[in-house]
Amino acid sequence: MTAASEGVLALFSTVGDALANRPLGFGLRRASLAARFASHRGLDDEAVATAWVAGALADVGLLGIVVPPEASDRLRLLAEADAPLFGARFVASVAGLPPPTGDVIRWHREYDDGTGIPDGLRWDGVPTEAAALGIVHAFLAAIDDPREPSSPGEALYAVIAESGRRYRVELVRAFREFIAATGTSWSDPLVPALAPLDEDPLVIDLTDRLDARDSRTAGRSARRAQLADVLARRLDLDVAQAVRLARLVSLGRAAADADHDDFDPLSRFARERRTQEARRAAAIAAAVPGFAADADHLAASAAWYEDGGVEPLAGILGLAIAVEVLPPIEAPRRVAAAAGSQFHPEVARAYLATLGAPT
């Protein structure tokens, strides 16, 4: 199996970072720190693995949260309060993950004083491992705060200041001792052994969830993947890679405030938007070693052939993106007209051949 830090769990984690407007890789750092903290407290291998997975996937519930841009801050907070619950439901549906992971994710944002989310638990009602992940999250979030970043020492002080209010006294004490004992190694990556996962269905699930965030894009990845399959076969390219890339293009929609993209896909305005989404998709893929090789193709998916040529796999992506949005009655004519300028000519001919249209 691909290491969890390099495979599909890392991809879900990085998408969670994007949706939470955090630096890409935050979730994986949180996972490693949570696992190290669990190990420091003498927990067994299963508990350490649970801490890692919960840390990695703590923000995955944001896939199910869509807040209109015009929503007030209050409505946004109310909507996002359900994210831990959605995250718990997701991990419970994935065979092979440690069984307690869902509960840790559901309650890692609860506070001892009852002001947390989603259930307002208090004191001993907050499970210990969820409370531990909450401390880890708060520590790293303070360090990575975009408005006022903290040093590790300042972040630790902020956690200690909430001891007995937000955070359990004995856990804060243990975390302080852990940071002091490990020096700078608290930030080193740590990935425990996990059960093998069937990654392809999880990639499909991820991209379907991204599509479903907007009713107008539901099912889009599946349609693009189907077209990429046909075109790759006609062009004698790697079919599995083409299909995978056609799905990963949807990573570009992993943003809390992604705009609607119901516009002419061949317009200059659309080109700017497609470039923005392609770069986001490429950045997410590049942040995950198991998907880094896909990044260049994803970045090139918004390029026009007239700008210096586009290799065929990126050409398939660019055409699939456009065709999926164009009205079916217009697609053959407009693809034919743009062959050699916006579209890779061989890809365009392959597409038109599938329709029986003149090439």
* C-alpha closest to that of 133 among 145, 125, 141: 141
The CATH architecture to which 8-187 belongs is: Orthogonal Bundle (1.10)
pLDDT in tens, 272-317: 888 899 999 999 999 999 999 999 999 999 998 888 778 999 999 9
The one-letter amino acid code at 259 reads: D
Average pLDDT, integer, range 142-151: 91
Q: Which pLDDT does position 1 carry in this prediction? A: 46
Q: Where in the chain are all domains bearing CATH 1.10.3210.10? A: 8-187, 199-355
Average pLDDT, integer, range 38-65: 95
Q: Give the Cα separation of 55 and 148 in Å (integer).
A: 23
pLDDT at 202 > cutoff 60: yes
Torsion of CA 190, 192, 197, 201, to 10 degrees: -30
**Is the CB of residue 58 less than 8 Å from the CB of residue 16?**
yes
Q: How confident is the model at residue 263 (pLDDT cuts 50, 70, 90)?
A: low
Bond prior to 312 in cis (omega within 30° of 0): no
Q: Give the Cα separation of 266 and 270 in Å (integer).
A: 6
Q: Give the Cα separation of 107 and 110 in Å (integer).
A: 5
Q: Per the CATH hierarchy, to which homologous superfamily does domain 199-355 belong?
A: Hypothetical protein af1432 (1.10.3210.10)
Question: Quick check: pTM over 0.95?
Answer: no
pLDDT in tens, 102-130: 999 999 999 999 998 898 889 889 999 99
Highest mean pLDDT among 27-31, 74-78, 143-147: 27-31
Residue 179 DSSP one-character state: H
Place of tokens 């890679």: 241
Residue 262 DSSP one-character state: -
